[in-house]
Amino acid sequence: EADIYQTPRYLVIGTGKKITLECSQTMGHDKMYWYQQDPGMELHLIHYSYGVNSTEKGDLSSESTVSRIRTEHFPLTLESARPSHTSQYLCASSEPRGIETQYFGPGTRLLVL
């Protein structure tokens, strides 16, 4: 069982606001990921990191940015939220070696008005 946390769980915010979605894990996993998923739709990888100071863009273009200053922490930031950013954001982490088994956090549901 993975210990991976996301805050806030739900966020309603106005257009133009800056927001940061938090993701933390306590397993010491080097690899962390952010996915975006609309209701009933596919998971899309938007960012990933293989360790401290490593960040890469995922398969889906996103206006968000990420940072990885500490192993356990992988926050995602939207500088200016728009209604098109309304979605569920899922954070995941995986062990540094062996099979790429990813464990997901509970997700953040974002609604931009």
99 contributes a contact to other proteins by CB under 8 A: yes
**CB 12, min distance to other proteins, A:** 16
Q: Any residues with CB less than 8 A from the CB of 52 and at least 6 apart, and which?
A: 68, 69, 70, 71
**CB 70, min distance to other proteins, A:** 20
In 3D space, the residue among 76, 74, 81, 51 whose CA is nearest the CA of residue 65 turns out to be 76
Nearer to other proteins, 5 or 17 (CB): 5
Nearer to other proteins, 17 or 55 (CB): 55
Angle at 90 between CA 26 and CA 9, to 5 degrees: 80
8 Å CB contact between 64 and 76: yes
Out of 90, 93, 110, 112, which residue is the one contacting other proteins (CB under 8 A)? 90
Q: For residues 15-74, which are near other proteins according to CB under 8 A?
A: 31, 33, 41-43, 45, 48, 50, 59
37 is written with which tokens? 């998923």
Nearer to other proteins, 3 or 79 (CB): 3
**CB 102, min distance to other proteins, A:** 6
Task: Give the N- to C-terminal CA distance of the chain in Å, as an integer.
Answer: 35
Nearer to other proteins, 41 or 113 (CB): 41
